[in-house]
A and B are shown apart, each in its own frame.
Chain A
Amino acid sequence: MKTIKFLTLTALFIGFTSCSSDDDNSTPLLEIETQTISNLQATQSADYSTNPATITGDYIKFSFETGATTTGDNWDIAFRGSTILVNGGTATADDQPERTGNASVYLATGTLAEISTVNETSLAQDDATNGLAITTGSGNGWYNYDSTTHIISPIAGKVIVVKTNNGMYAKLEILSYYKDTDTASDSQYYTFNYVYNPNEGVTTF
């Protein structure tokens, strides 16, 4: 009897320890997704006959969950020209898409690989009084504008960290604002790398 008890305990022990080495949760974690999005077109047009100029065009909404643009409410961030919105907070202008989610963002300094944990206190939402969470203007946000060459170039070492509308985390690095990453070609075409962690509440990449 004693022997059986001992063997059972040993078996259980081995069973438990072997389990804990690769899995201490009942549901295994999903794999972190790394993707490149090329030539996401986010065209805006400007009418300079008015002062200030009237900017028109649709915001192109993007969802990290699907890894593609969307027309529904499940978007996380949206692009138009050099402006980036987040699906959370309040609108700063009338022509922006309705924010139904609770997403938030911040701009981190580092390489895409370096940013390994989310600093949750930095996360912010768009705000009618305080402006967009990703500030606009040359040198203020994700890009620099060269007034002689008129080229918009993404600032090296700027990574956008996103808490998505469904509570996941993503990070992205914009690589280019031009079609086929050619600054001689048309602008308002985003190319970016992103990393998406599809595990709710996990703040590491």
Chain B
Amino acid sequence: MSLNKNKTLIYFTLFLSCVGFSQEVKTDSTKTEQLEDVIVTATRTVRQLSSLPLPAQIISKKEIQSVNSLRLSDILNEQTGLITVPDFGGGEGIQLQGLDSQYTLILIDGVPLIGRSAGTLDISRVTVGNIKQIEIVKGASSSLYGSEALGGVINIITEKPKYGFNGDLNSRVGSFNTYDNSLNLGYRKKKFSISTFVNSFNSDGYDLNESDALNTVEPFNNQIFNTKLNYNFNDATSLLLSGRYYTQNQDYVASEDLKGESDINEWNTHLKLKHKYSEKWSSYFEFYATRYKADEYLNNPDNSRFSESDFNQLLLRPEIRATYSPNKKSAFIGGLGWNHETLKRTDFSKEPEFNSPYAYLQYDTHPTEKINIILGARFDNHSEYKSQFSPKVALRYKLSDKIAVKGSVGYGYKAPDFRQLYFDFTNATVGYTVLGYNAVSTAIPQLEEEGQIANIVVPISEFDNELKPENSVSFNVGIDYNPITSIKLNFNAFRNNINDLIDTRVIANKTNGQNVFSYYNVHKVYTQGLELNTSWKPSNNLKISGGYQLLFAKEKEAEDAFKNGNVYARLTPSSSSFQLKKQDYFGLYNRSRHMGNLKVFYEFTKLDLDANIRGTYRSKYGLYDTNGNTYLDTYDDFVKRYTIWDLAINKTLFKNYTLGFGIDNVLNFRDTQNISNISGRIIYGKLNIQF
């Protein structure tokens, strides 16, 4: 443990002196209990969570605060069926319903985060310090959101300021010299509100493997600035302006000799003008702009430059939408928008530009009190790949006050990324070449002219048709059951049929003995399973919740290969091979068959103290094929199942001061060989001051 004792001491001394001079005690305005959870992500209108025909979930601010989460990855990891998976270079992406992180759209206040340099969107980039709630909608939602909303949507709703001037200061210090400090300031008058949020997060990182020059996570520091301004011109018209800036600096170490830095700079601006014409009609104009920039370099020991790479993505999106509610039973929402995207990147054949106008419409109706139907569709026209039509239908039927059934079918897709279209990369030391799909028709003739091509394996004419987006049809069927008011049970069965997954293949052989690779649509994959969520509140003080997900994630071609007896394995690397059976196919990499969680929250009202203990379980999973047959089968080596226990205690003093203490990963679970994003036990202290 590298918890710095001196700094901790200073920290607590500071904390105590703060307690000392606190005189002005204001009435706590946060204690207003919400009666019904509402969610905006599922329909882009305000909807009651409990009556929604789609599988959705809300993580409240209260839960985030009581478990003392720092980053989005911390809190999502504790939710049923969600797991963060480490990517190359320390990023963490989210796996949802067994789908990779490329297939889940991440939004902040309804607008997307960009910057998937290798497909993964690193969600540890998002702090939870100024969050009102996190909304998770599972199942394909491209009918509203377009690309990337294939597995689901995670929307982070930031906090709005309360009346008057107020704010809070939050500070947490923990193992690995990790410091997280944030300040939230808010001001609100009748017509006007403004809030500012500043966060600073730095850490020494950690090292799971001491034998090499590299750390598992190199030291880093990052800052977030966020300002939101809201102005109500009158009862009908309002304007929202919001800006966010994120900057991170991290050491970049490739080997003992090659060292450098990596920098990320990201900004988002969001303007939203709302006008309400009547009780029935409202319209919105939205303009969103965001840039994500990542630069890194490596230097030789003599400080000369070894390599440099950069990634610079820009997204501009104007959108108008309108809502129309002819009566209390039904609501329409429709929108028109335009996505404009550009990217500058090392090893690209050109500076690509995407233009994609889109339109969507959704009808949400309650023909009778018991039935709710949602019909929606969206059309995305795209300059660089096949245009997409994404319909969705959802239905909920209330059998009684205690039980309701629901089901939904939707289409989802993910646009090919810039890399899959425009990459033009030749490895300097080994000599192979990777070409994006749209780069093939110009790059291959050029390589031929230079005499680098020995023979063509896939004719260039095959690249005449546009590359298809990866797409899926998702099915969800569920039951909401509340046998008594203190018990909630949600059950959901899901199936995602994913087509046209993009992979690489050899398209030509080079004269240097290496190959030229490019991308193509090939794989068919499915994920299916069950999800169960329960919560029990026997008293106002106690809440127990549990969740479980059963998952089968398989590639169809692989399944057939096993079924037809074409797959073999060896028990030891040099023993004779034997034929594998259908049931020996385990499925896709990095998927656990079983995942579960159990959480107990308890409030000691008299002591102003709340405590919780949370456990998350993950069954065994495979990271790669270890027996050389290219498939993950039951004879491969697996990462062992594990359980992580976290606990946290928060004590409120003088109403506005909260002192927290906790241990994440109490039993110090680590798997240094296989799991790079679990650092081991983390002990921390937290202070929160409200004013």
Residue from B513, B568, B579 having most chain A Cβ neighbours under 10 A? B568
A51, A114, A178: the one contacting B512 at CB < 8 Å is: A51
CB distance from A7 to the nearest CB of B (A): 55
C-alpha spacing A139/B574, complex, angstroms:
17
Cβ-based interface call for A74 (8 A) = no
Q: In the bound complex, do residue A155 and residue B573 qualify as a contact, i.e. CB atoms below 8 Å apart?
A: no
CB distance from A62 to the nearest CB of B (A): 19
A110, A153, A181: the one contacting B628 at CB < 8 Å is: A153
Cβ-based interface call for A52 (8 A) = yes
Cβ-based interface call for B60 (8 A) = no
- Whether A109 contacts B566 in the complex (CB less than 8 A), given A51-B512, A156-B627, comes out as yes
Q: In the bound complex, do residue A175 and residue B576 qualify as a contact, i.e. CB atoms below 8 Å apart?
A: yes
Q: In the bound complex, do residue B576 and residue A193 qualify as a contact, i.e. CB atoms below 8 Å apart?
A: yes
Q: In the bound complex, do residue A157 and residue B577 qualify as a contact, i.e. CB atoms below 8 Å apart?
A: yes
Residues of A within 8 A of B630 (CB): 139, 144
C-alpha spacing A103/B629, complex, angstroms:
29
Residues of A within 8 A of B628 (CB): 144, 153-156
Residues of B within 8 A of A126 (CB): none
C-alpha spacing A178/B574, complex, angstroms:
9
Interface residues on A, range: 20 to 34
Interface size on B, residues (CB 8 A): 19
- Whether A114 contacts B579 in the complex (CB less than 8 A), given A155-B628, A156-B568, comes out as yes
- Per CB-CB distance, the 10 closest pairs between chain A and chain B, nearest first, are A157-B568, A181-B574, A156-B577, A156-B568, A176-B574, A153-B628, A175-B574, A144-B628, A156-B569, A52-B513
Residues of A within 8 A of B511 (CB): 52
Cβ-based interface call for B461 (8 A) = no
Contact with A along B539-579 (1 / 0, CB 8 A): 00000000000000000000000000011111001111111
Cβ-based interface call for A173 (8 A) = yes
Cβ-based interface call for A84 (8 A) = no
Q: List residues 474-517 of chain B with CB under 8 A from any CB of chain A.
A: 511-513
C-alpha spacing A193/B570, complex, angstroms:
14
Cβ-based interface call for A87 (8 A) = no
Cβ-based interface call for A191 (8 A) = yes
Extra pairs beyond A175-B575, A175-B576, A181-B574 (18, CB < 8 Å):
A51-B512, A111-B568, A111-B579, A112-B577, A153-B628, A154-B628, A155-B568, A155-B629, A156-B569, A156-B628, A157-B569, A157-B579, A157-B629, A158-B568, A175-B574, A176-B574, A178-B574, A181-B573
Q: In the bound complex, do residue B577 and residue A111 qualify as a contact, i.e. CB atoms below 8 Å apart?
A: yes
C-alpha spacing A109/B580, complex, angstroms:
13
C-alpha spacing A178/B572, complex, angstroms:
14
Q: In the bound complex, do residue B577 and residue A173 qualify as a contact, i.e. CB atoms below 8 Å apart?
A: yes
C-alpha spacing A181/B575, complex, angstroms:
9
Residues of B within 8 A of A154 (CB): 628
Residues of B within 8 A of A8 (CB): none
C-alpha spacing A183/B626, complex, angstroms:
13
A51, A52, A110, A156: the one contacting B570 at CB < 8 Å is: A156
Contact with B along A95-122 (1 / 0, CB 8 A): 0000000000000011110100000000
